[in-house]
Each structure stands twice: as C-alpha cells, then as structure tokens.
Amino acid sequence: MQTNKFDQNLKNSIRLIIALMVFLSIPGCGFKDPVESTNIPAVTPVIGTATPEPETALVFEQVDLPVGYGYTSSFVDVYFTEPRSGLAYYEEDGIETKLIESIDGAKVSIDLAIYSFDHYLIERALINAFKRGVTVRMVMESDSLDSSSVIRLLAAGIPIVGDDTSSLMHNKFLIIDEVEVWTGSANYTYDSFYVDNNNLIRIADEEIAANYEAEFEEMFSVHFFSTDTKNNTPYRVVDLSGTKIETLFSPDDQIARVIVNLLKNSTKSIYFMAYAMTAEDYSEVLIGQFNNGLIIEGILDGQLLKSGGSEFEQLINSGIQVLPDGNDGLLHHKVMIIDEEIVVTGSYNFTANAERQNDENILIIYNKALAKLFLEEFGRINEIRPSTP
C-alpha cells in the first residue's frame, strides 16, 4: 500500500535498531553462558511503594455488549466475559468484538504475543490488516502453533515466532500502531471469550506501548525467552492524569516481590480472583494481613483445585473466605484488588513457574474507579460459586 510505504520502512528501521540495542546490551553480544541461562534474574528495586499523584476522576461509560461487560474511559477500557449469558452458546458478539474493532483501525503495525490462538474472526481481522499494508508480527507458545487459525495466518504470510523453550510464552498482549495496548487474562480462543471468566484491558498511551514493544522485540527479533530475557522496560511507572500505572514482565522483574510488597502495605482489604495460586509467598502475606484485621476474600478456579498443589487449604484453614468458582469453564482471571483502589491484572498466575520461568506481563493500576469495576466482576463470580468446596 503506497501511502504507508514510507511509514513502514521507518518503523522497520526503528525496530531493527531496537533489536540491535537489546542484542548488544546482553553480555557477550547475545551469546549466553549455558550455566547463566538457568539463573533467576538479579533482584531489582521493589516498586509498588511510591505514592501516586492525586488521582483525577476517571469516568467510565458502560459499553453495550450482548455477551459480556464493557466500560470505556479517556485512556483505559476494560471488558469482562459472561459465560452465564444465554447468548454465549452462539460464540459471537462477545468482548473480543472491541478488540477486532481496534485491529480493523490499525494503520501501520500490529504486534501480538499470545499463548493460544484459535479464533476465526480475530484471524480474519489480522489477515485483512496485513493485506491492506499493515505490518503484522506474532510471537507464540511453540506448543500452540498447530491450531487452524495459526496455520492460516502463516499461510497468509504473517511471520510467527515460537518460543522453543520448555517454559511457557504465556503472554496475552497486542500492540497497535505503537500507541495502544490490549492485555489481560484472555487467550484468543472461543472458550476464552464465551466459556471462561476472563478480562481484557485496553490502554492508549505511547509510553506503556513502548514497554510492551521492547518486550515484544526481545522475543520476536532477538529470540530471547524465559530466563534469557533482560530487564529493559523503558517506562516502568507512568502517570496518566493522576492514575499511576506500573508495567512488569516475568521473569525479568521479580513480580512476586512487587505484589507481596503491595499486599504487605495494604491497610483495608484484599480481594483476589485467580486461576492458580500455588506460591507460598502469597498465602503467607494474605494470612498475615487477615490476622491483622484486613478483609481478605478470594475465588479460585474449582477445576484446577481438584488437581492439588494449591494454597487453598492453607488459606481456608486460616479462616480466610476463599472458595472455588461455580463456572463449568475456567476462572481464568489473574487479578488482585487492593484497598479498593489498586488493580493487579495480566497473564501472570500466582505460581513459581510464572515467577521464574514463563514469559508473562502484568499491569498495576492505581485507580478507584477501575478497582470498583473489578470488584463488581468479583461480585458477579461470587454469586455463582458453590458454598462448599
């Protein structure tokens, strides 16, 4: 497409420079000592403690969705699936329709890192964007490269890089024109949008987009995954009109230390919706804060609990109100809501593998209005969970 040719060449040149900078910043120009490749990254300064600027009221308007819940504001949108809807059976008109609208509006580039992809309409939107001259690139978990959608994307000429590691490329993020980021807990599959409880969050900001672009280039251009990755996020903390947003990636940023620090400093309440919680760090601080008199409530995925290994029993035995969800699908959120004003969300399960091995991302967003929307989602799921394990 001639009108975009200059922009595309410029973007490609910039991406090459970024890739070279990432590559050359690694000791040995990218050739790692095999022994060092298994080390957990050095401890980074703990964030999550800085006091945000006074929050400017963020006004959300509800989005009319046949299947799901949506809310939009000046720079952040959030969407929740609704598996209980009678229309969910038809697998259309869900929260991914808003994602597709953004893909359809892309002008220059789309970069996507996704654990699992099998969704015809999103696939079509990406292929159509590619055909109209938009640069489309993808990174995926290698074990998920055999789906029908992925095969057709490759056949259309869209480049897809697999992680080729024993760990998981577990991210779920998409960057449009380097100014807009979609992330959250949802994979790009029909089950994710119509069977499981998931969230999508969209943020329009160049600096946050630059954070995700740096992570994407590291995987796509340099082929560094898992413990090969480097802590190179350009804007770890961004302030958007008084809303502080922190961007973290795993295993680079030792996310557990940041979240645990937030939990230790909470003064009122902690609510969590989690597919998995197997790391003792979280149960220990939750129990400690419960004993300090804070409100602690949680919902875990009932299907995963049956396989064992969760901190569920320890939390229950401490007196904390935490029960399995009542959805026949998955409770796939990875969410914490702290003091009704801080939201933690992304692809990161609260597990040792997510912390030390997998490629993951989270956002920590300091905003009461957004926290209220996540608390409403907690309430919806809480309504259908069983009263006993």
Q: What amino acid positions are annotated as catalytic residues?
A: 332, 334, 339
Token pair 């989690």 in the structure block, residue: 274
Closest residue by Cα to residue 220 from 18, 372, 381: 18
Instruction: Look up residue 89 and give its two tokens.
Output: 């059976």
Among 31, 43, 23, which Cα is nearest to 256's?
43
- Could you say which DSSP state residue 276 is in? -
- For the record, the structure tokens of 22 come out as 């990432």
Label residues 189-212 b or e (16+ Cβ within 10 Å = b).
Answer: bbbbbbbbbbbbbbbbbebbbbbb
**Residue showing tokens 């947003």:** 245
- The Cα 247–Cα 365 span in angstroms is 9
Length of the chain: 389
Q: Closest Cα partner for 188 from 104, 95, 122?
A: 122
DSSP letter assigned to residue 27:
T
Tokens of 41: 């990254």
| Paired tokens of 135 | 């640069």
Sign of CA dihedral 113, 115, 118, 122: negative
As given in the structure block, the two tokens for residue 88 are 């969910």
Q: Are 338 and 270 in contact (CB under 8 A)?
A: yes
Q: Are 330 and 324 in contact (CB under 8 A)?
A: no
Cα→Cα distances 125→200, 242, 387, Å: 18, 34, 42
Beta-sheet pairing, 69-72 with 76-80:
antiparallel
